[in-house]
Amino acid sequence: MTILVAYAPRPEGRAALAKGIQMATTQNEKLLVVNASTGGPHKDPALADGHDTDWVRRELRSSGLDAEFRQLVRGKDAVEEIQELAESLPASLLIIGLRKRSPVGKLIMGSTAQQILLTVDCPVLAVKAR
């Protein structure tokens, strides 16, 4: 089976990646790290740039795991992409990073993490950055 990490170029995304590497190592599973965005004319802060994607790929190479990084910009939002991947792999575990947001912030902006927790069928491990 495969451990799936939903990655965003923020401290909580790096925490999810580190936990994914740790879990894949201890469970001897393949690791798939995905960074997803709808794309479009506006810059999405969740979309990793070239420097960050290079860093993720170096981390995966140095882990020695059977690991892959995919960046998906296909017009679907991150929740759709992650849900489809979790089902098609199938994923044994999905790891996501969480950040603290106010209740009003969640109401206005929504919460990708909350949507993932409510829609994905596989177990989800949520980690916070230190």
pLDDT along the chain (130 residues), means of 10: 96 97 98 91 85 98 98 91 94 91 56 87 92
Looking up residue 101, the CATH number of its domain turns out to be 3.40.50.620
Strand order in the sheet with 30-37: 67-73, 30-37, 2-6, 91-98, 124-128
Can you tell me the distance from the alpha carbon of 29 to that of 3, in angstroms, rounded to the nearest whole number?
7
- Residue for token digits 């190592």? 25
pLDDT tens for each residue of 36-62: 988 877 788 889 999 999 999 999 999
Whole-structure pTM value:
0.90
| Count of domains for the chain | 1
Structural domain including 101 reads 2-128
